[in-house]
Chain A
Amino acid sequence: MAKSLAAKAPSQARRASPSPQPAGRIPKPKSKAPKRKDDYTSDGVDDNDVFLLPISDYQVTILVTIVSAIVRLYRIYQPTSVVFDEVHFGGFASKYIKGRFFMDVHPPLAKLMITLFGWIAGFNGDFDFKEIGKDYLEPGVPYVAMRLFPALCGIFLAPTMFLTLKTVGCRTTTAILGAGMIIFENGLLTQARLILLDAPLMIGTAFTALAFNSFTNQHELGPSKAFEPSWWFWLIMSGLGLGITFSIKWVGLFTIAWVGSLTLVQLWVLLGDHKHVSMRLFTKHFLARVFCLIVIPLGFYMAMFGIHFLCLTNPGEGDGFMSSEFQSTLNSKGMQDVAADVLMGSRVSIRHVNTQGGYLHSHPLMYPTGSKQQQITLYPHKDDNNVWLLENQTQPLDIHGNPINGSTAWNNLPEVPYITDGAVLRLYHTPTHRRLHSHDVRPPVTEAEWQNEVSAYGYEGFDGDANDYFRVEIVKKKSKRGVSQERVRTIDTKFRLVHIMTGCVLFSHKVKLPDWASEQQEVTCARGGTLPNSLWYIESNEHDTLGPDAEKVNYANPGFLGKFWELQVVMWKTNAGLVESHAWDSRPEAWPVLRRGINFWGKNHTQIYLIGNPLVWWSASVAVAIYVLFKGLAVLRWQRSCGDYSNTIFKRFDYEIGTSVLGWAFHYFPFYLMQRQLFLHHYFPALYFGIMAFCQVFDFVTARIAVVGLKDHPIINRATATALLALSGVVFYLYSPLAYGNPWTKAECNRVKLFSTWDWDCNNFLDSYDAYSSLPSVAAVPTPEQSQAPVIPQAAVPPPQVPIVNEEPAISGAPPPPGHSIVAREERVEYRDQHGNLLDEEQVKALEGKVEFQTRYETRTRLVDADGNEIPQSVEPEPAVAPPHPDVQGVDSETTKRSLVPDEPIPPPEKSVEGVKEAEEKIAKPASEGNEATKLASEGSEAAKPASEVNEPIKKEEVVA
């Protein structure tokens, strides 16, 4: 950059050469002492401080606000159900109120404000905003209050635009035009009427633009204004604005980049003014900006996270994203201190370091593929099935030289059986009496050559075989300094488990097993897996010889900064991971031309569809294009020494509109670099700058550039502005049913649907407005309960450990047993007490809050014949001997190679797939921001257990029939 600046030098020389200015063409700066040549005061700049406007302008501001409020608040209660991303942002409000930790890719400010509005209106957080179209009225959610916050932001956007335009020196008429274009922008309006983050983001950006333009104005007035109150005020406001914007969405970074680059330019010019600006003064300028534009925003941003952490004190569905240290700071997730030394015979839970998949886990279900032995997974919650007994390679010998058997064998040994680096272990799964085992069979999901399956193998009393041996290798770099690097200690020691026979290392990664393992995380044994994914540590540790006075350890508290930084990293990674394509996403190149919108909501023959006001939208794009053309030409002419820049108006046109177009560019082009899913509303900040640029061009052409000839006829400025304003109002009106969710008719819809890429569905609307009145009242229609699988009463409960017999394998198209087919999979929740008796709902209600529920997942297969009758199924007994062992019998030949089944039965004739599936496709979907969090939620919600006087736990069983 420095170089290109240097290259500009010749033109400056040209400009500086005293050429007599043509009289009457350039307005002379008013009432100022003759400026020195290299004074940084700019030519042709007036003091446009917002606080010095004439009274009439303030009246206009109020008027604009009122109009804006009317347009924004009209029927804000409509629709009465959840729309688009209200799913997320409404949901976050409930979680704030409940204090349950969640993870979202956006910083907290706007969500906190929405929560505040809801909380004041009496929202207690009991509504879950689960899906688009879920009714608000029945549960009495104060959704109007919650929508009011974005609406207020949206309302104030118009007066902000008005004042910003005044600040950059536009006529009042032009400023009104700008405000009008904001008011009548359908897209901005649609976003501002719903519980979404974009309206707050917009007001943040707009406020920053106002503040920084005001500051620039003060700065350009030269040394006389520097460090005056007004100068300071706007500089501080710019910083605050940046902080606010950045604390709403990370898009605020682009605003920071805009302010930052313009500030650098200002500083550069200051540096060059060596006649007026001493190094000392320059440093003062520099530090003032560092403080206001870096320290203030950063402090504000961190303060917001401080509040965020204060609000979210309980565990919630976001836990799964965070490290164990982080989680232990949440209420009731904090752990009792654990015995530090891990010994042979310890009962431990082993946790994976790099992923938040949880504990090494096994349960009495078999792999449907590979060895068909018992599954090993990672399970995120505390459970008896996570407990492993650490056994030595051989049982210890008693004084007679006979091996001591049983799990307490290591209790009374002469010397403490520490587990040192290189010790060989067997991991015994007490609940199922099997041992951790691996062999040369491909894992169920990751069928890579370098990965082996890990299973649990054996039976009660089985001595085990050589494939059960794992060697502990302490990774010193990752372990706490000191003893923890020499022998295994709880939490502090990170180690690898090397399988002795094959040399592979116990490994896990973010790959989920299919339904047959309740979507728990896959565990494999990898040769040459990455180190971070091969690390494990021990979290809970019990040993009979370790009494209450044994040395204890616990997680280190990460502190605010640690938590703050960890959350930033997780947010960044999650954000970058949102790459899956979405039915309503769009790429940046489609935005300036308004190619496509987003379907937000549809019900009762009305629809909300995010689409901009084409007139406003295209005007903004045209303004940008005009400036780019102008700039291209100007640069060429400048290089050919044409001396345009000696004309003050030319110079101001270039700089002022350039500033806005730079803002547009900074809020637009970075999206090209993003791989994540993008939506039309990501263009809104750029659009705001585009509209500003349009109004400035309009102002210059109609009122400032003498050559055009319109300058002397203010009537033209007013008339054109009025016409444009009226026109955008009309266009707004034409598309408004999509913004408000109002009734519309097919004919009118089709009339304004100019392009086929504007893909709202006109057939959805009725033929006439009258038809709407005959519909049942919108509010009264209950939400259709969709896709609720019928709960089939369970007669006799089969014994709990049924291996999956007829479960269809994930990939291979093996035909189901002849004559039967698995008709449907259902999920149901049963509650049982400690004796296995089924409890009915009333009993469960009564017990809720008093006792602890434990979850068990179980899969059972019911066979149903063609008429829908259940076929009684012979329950296969648990095999008493060891299940087939691939090491003995050779690798199972039925590994999931695709097999051709040419004469597979063809499904019964039906009318293609018209119906449920296809209807689903047309439904609006929330953007998947934070989707991942929701997914984990289903597993995490039980984690928030009430601390209570625990009786015998009641088992809650989920049965998949």
Chain B
Amino acid sequence: MAAVVDTHAVASGFDAGDAARRRNNVAGAPQPAVVKPVEAEDKTKAKKAPSFLQVLDQWEWLIVPILVTAVSFFTRFYKIGLSPIVTWDEAHFGKFGSHYLKREFYFDVHPPAGKLLVGLSGYLAGYNGSFEFKSGETYPEEINYTFMRQFNAFWGAVCVPMAYWTAKELNLRRPAVWFVTLMVLCENSYTTISRFILLDSMLLFGTVATTLCWAKFHGQRKRAFEPAWFLWLFMTGLSIGFVCSVKLVGLFVTSLVGLYTIEDLWRKFGDTKIPIPELAAHVVTRVIGLIILPILIYMLSFAIHFAVLTNSGPGDAQMSSLFQANLKGTEVGRDSPLEVALGSRVTIKNMGYGGGLLHSHVQTYPEGSGQQQVTCYHHKDANNDWFFYPNRKDTDLDIEAEPRFIGDGQTIRLIHMQTGRNLHSHEISAPVTKADKEVSSYGNLTVGDEKDHWKIEVISDAASRDRTKIRTLTTAFRLRHEVLGCYLRAGNVNLPQWGFKQIEVTCTKDNKPRDQYTHWNIESHVNEKLPPGDPGQYKSPFLNDFIHLNVAMMTSNNALVPDPDKQDDLASQWWQWPLLHVGLRMCSWDDKIVKYFLLGNPLVYWGSTAGLGVFGLLVVWYTLRWQRGFRELSDDDVDRIHYAGIYPVIGWFLHYLPFVVMARVTYVHHYYPALYFAILVLGFLADWFLSPLRKSIQYGAYTVLDVVTIGLYIFFLPICWGMVGPNKDYSYMKWFDNWKMSDA
């Protein structure tokens, strides 16, 4: 919208001259703000007198990172194995790690990289994958869960020095850099979340690393195409690839880098002095570094995922039939006859992402025709079995005769094995998707009409070019209703409770040959007259599996919608997070158990939230002043606001707003990546407002901020390191009723 609006400003011709004035200023009129760097120099000069301090000052770039890293490792690792029970989402991610060790195919909404690393940590710890990771259970002796947790904590601990370097790269002055680092170090929620077998520490690491690489890359902008520039470009791409492969939340920090790149290129495009080839080179390097490289890493994580998981497991049904047939220990495709004939008993799988098996049961539609329901269903049972039958005009099926094979263009009937009814459609709106036609089961072997007739249209066959026969697993076909001309479709729309929330099957009039939800293939096939074959010998291409799995992930992520009637004490809402309105109990609150409570450092949370508001006012103030013709900011100042202020704010919005819009159930830890950007903004504001002040006031203010941060961190540290004993002992931390670290 902004683009449209501002062009009007330009186009209407109301405006003139302002820019000219600004240009002139840019050209180098004396600026009041020039004083600031001088001040900064003063500060360093002042420190020069005693030699020890001078050394410290010189080696600050090394000493401080080492110091904070050490403290960070201490706070993240200390007593990490205290609680021997499966805590919170360890139940999920530990279990997924086990699946890798057992090499059983599973399905989850998150990309595999983080869970692969969890699996790796288990492998390094000598764990064999046999533990169930049931929530609240005690770890058996043979699992070195302490090592697995330490492995995770490592990622969280490394964030602290990276925050230091990022703040430095964004040109914050030294005390502000320390303040930012301290806020990340002394953030209780970061500490707690890093100490368990979860993906969040890796996600946090990825987000922080991407921000750091981006800032470094930005720092090299004047030295384009030099080695350091390339290094940080590719490091940015690398970290984007990593963070997106851990959780899809990584896409938000990716969009931050994307926005920066677009703005950068747009400016270069406007700079008529840059020759076109150089411009093209800029575009190409970024496409390679920031798009192709991350995608390759992302795909690599899936390639490893598929390479490791070679056994059949709980996630099979989400994948295509062909993929399932290639897993060890699967039933799919085993000993099935290759080619399908009339009289064959088959199950028919929808080839759309997350598609199920064509299903019917005795229950009828409560509205519409009132005939028997037809749905799509992932669970395998006898109600998925269908017989291929000749159409009513054709000669009847003769069990004794030679099998007649089915091919492209043939018209057949499908008879539901359990109820003996025909797959049927008619001029009645489908129950949910009203624009489509209803599909039902109707009649029997003799009763019925030509509305039971379906014509087979072969789309493709992975195994052969011969379309005169349909093959188990490999042939993709559509079923066209002969009378209505519509196609059988299962589009991932769930029926209401009367249909057991199974997927609605409809007949759609849109003839879209590429619509995968109208594609079907034979999954299991039984026909005693035909010789058993091995249809599973064809591998499904990696790219197909990759896309299939990704779309299935998106679909089920969106399906994680909370039950509106159920009170969920763990879930929280977006507006609660920046206010630190609630915390989260990570385990049961029994007195005998070591208890962990997810809650942030109040100063960091409230301060950063307030900072966002203050920053907004700051920007509005200077913009309005600028439009009124006041030229009080130097180029440097504008640059600092732009890169150390506005970009982190955008980062915060990108990581926060999606959760506002999202319908799925949300938890406090979804705010953590956004919090990091809010911390950066607070650091910038401290720098902006304090650095023009007198040195003594500056030091005083920073000291207060730092001490309060550390103090609150230590005050709340028991919730991170584990609360031993009755929870009443910890009621001193319960400032509000919603902070439920204690029942008292």
Contacts and interface: CB of A to CB of B under 8 A. Distances in A.
Instruction: Answer whether A and B are interacting partners.
Output: yes
Interface of A: 1-13, 15-17, 37-38, 40-44, 220, 261-262, 264-266, 268-274, 445-448, 450, 507, 509, 526, 528-531, 533, 580-583, 585, 631, 634-636, 638-641, 645, 648, 651-652, 654-655, 658-659, 662, 665, 810-813, 898, 900-902, 904, 906, 909, 911-913, 917-918, 921-922
B587 interface: no
B438 to A, nearest CB: 9
Contacts of B564: 530
Nearest to A900: B418
B434 interface: yes
Contacts of B20: 12-13, 16-17
Nearest to B436: A581
Interface string B163-206: 00000000000000000000000000000000000000000000
27 contacts: A2-B623, A5-B2, A8-B7, A9-B22, A16-B17, A16-B19, A38-B15, A220-B12, A220-B14, A261-B5, A265-B12, A269-B14, A448-B563, A450-B566, A509-B565, A528-B566, A583-B429, A639-B269, A641-B272, A645-B10, A654-B7, A662-B8, A898-B361, A898-B363, A900-B382, A917-B428, A921-B428
B395 interface: no
Contacts of B369: 913, 917
B52 interface: no
Contacts of A5: 2, 6, 9, 623, 627
Contacts of B8: 262, 265, 655, 658-659, 662
Nearest to A634: B7
Contact of B565 (A10, A43, A526, A906): A526
B401 interface: no
Contacts of B432: 581
B421 interface: yes
B449 A911 contact: yes
A810 B368 CA distance: 16
B435 interface: yes
A531 B568 CA distance: 11
Contacts of B435: 581, 583, 585
Interface string B356-378: 00000111101011010000000
Contacts of B23: 9-10, 13
Max chain A Cβ within 10 angstroms of own Cβ: one of B5, B444, B629: B5
B20 to A, nearest CB: 4
B421 A1 contact: no
A665 B1 CA distance: 10
A912 B449 CA distance: 7
Question: Ordered nearest first, which 5 A-B pairs have the shortest CB separation?
Answer: A9-B19, A269-B14, A2-B623, A13-B19, A655-B11
Contacts of B563: 448
B628 A274 contact: yes
B12 A8 contact: no
B261 interface: no
Contact of B567 (A12, A44, A528, A900): A528
B383 interface: yes
A11 B23 CA distance: 11
A608 B719 CA distance: 69
Nearest to A898: B361
Max chain A Cβ within 10 angstroms of own Cβ: one of B9, B12, B420, B567: B12
Contacts of A4: 2-3, 6
Given A912-B448, A917-B369, 20 more contacts: A2-B623, A6-B626, A8-B9, A12-B16, A38-B16, A43-B13, A262-B8, A272-B14, A272-B18, A272-B628, A581-B433, A631-B7, A636-B269, A638-B10, A640-B270, A655-B12, A812-B363, A900-B383, A918-B426, A921-B429
B426 A635 contact: no
Nearest to B8: A265
B418 A918 contact: no
A634 B10 CA distance: 12
B635 interface: no
A25 to B, nearest CB: 16
B497 interface: yes
A1 B5 contact: yes
Nearest to B10: A8
A269 B15 contact: yes
Max chain A Cβ within 10 angstroms of own Cβ: one of B363, B424, B620: B363
B447 A906 contact: yes
A810 B5 contact: no
A284 to B, nearest CB: 16
A652 B13 CA distance: 8
Max chain A Cβ within 10 angstroms of own Cβ: one of B15, B266, B420, B629: B15
A521 to B, nearest CB: 13
B566 A530 contact: yes
A909 B8 CA distance: 70
B512 to A, nearest CB: 13
B2 A1 contact: yes
Interface in B131-157: none
Interface in B268-303: 269-270, 272
Given A913-B426, A917-B369, A38 B383 contact: no
A69 to B, nearest CB: 37
A639 B500 CA distance: 57
A43 B451 CA distance: 69
A9 B24 CA distance: 12
A811 B498 contact: yes
B180 to A, nearest CB: 24
Max chain B Cβ within 10 angstroms of own Cβ: one of A4, A639, A655, A913: A913
Interface in B371-430: 371, 382-383, 418-421, 424, 426-429
Contacts of B624: 271
Nearest to B445: A906
Contact of B368 (A12, A266, A447, A917): A917
Nearest to B563: A448
B620 A12 contact: no
Given A4-B6, A902-B419, A639 B270 contact: yes
Interface in B638-659: 646
B14 A273 contact: yes
Given A265-B8, A528-B567, A901-B362, A445 B13 contact: no
B517 interface: no
Contacts of A583: 429, 434-435
A529 B418 CA distance: 39
B567 A529 contact: yes
Nearest to B432: A581
B669 to A, nearest CB: 22
Contacts of A44: 13
A709 B307 CA distance: 68
Nearest to B661: A673
B446 to A, nearest CB: 8
B82 interface: no
Nearest to B450: A912
A38 B435 CA distance: 57
Given A12-B18, A904-B419, A909 B13 contact: no
Max chain A Cβ within 10 angstroms of own Cβ: one of B14, B498, B629: B14
Nearest to A271: B627
Contacts of B559: none
B566 A909 contact: no
B619 interface: yes
Interface in B239-286: 266, 269-270, 272
Given A8-B6, A530-B565, A269 B12 contact: yes
Nearest to A910: B447
B442 interface: yes
Contact of B11 (A9, A533, A639, A654): A654
A27 to B, nearest CB: 14
B4 interface: yes
Interface in B1-52: 1-20, 22-23
B10 A11 contact: yes
Contacts of B12: 42, 220, 265, 269, 651, 655
B443 interface: yes
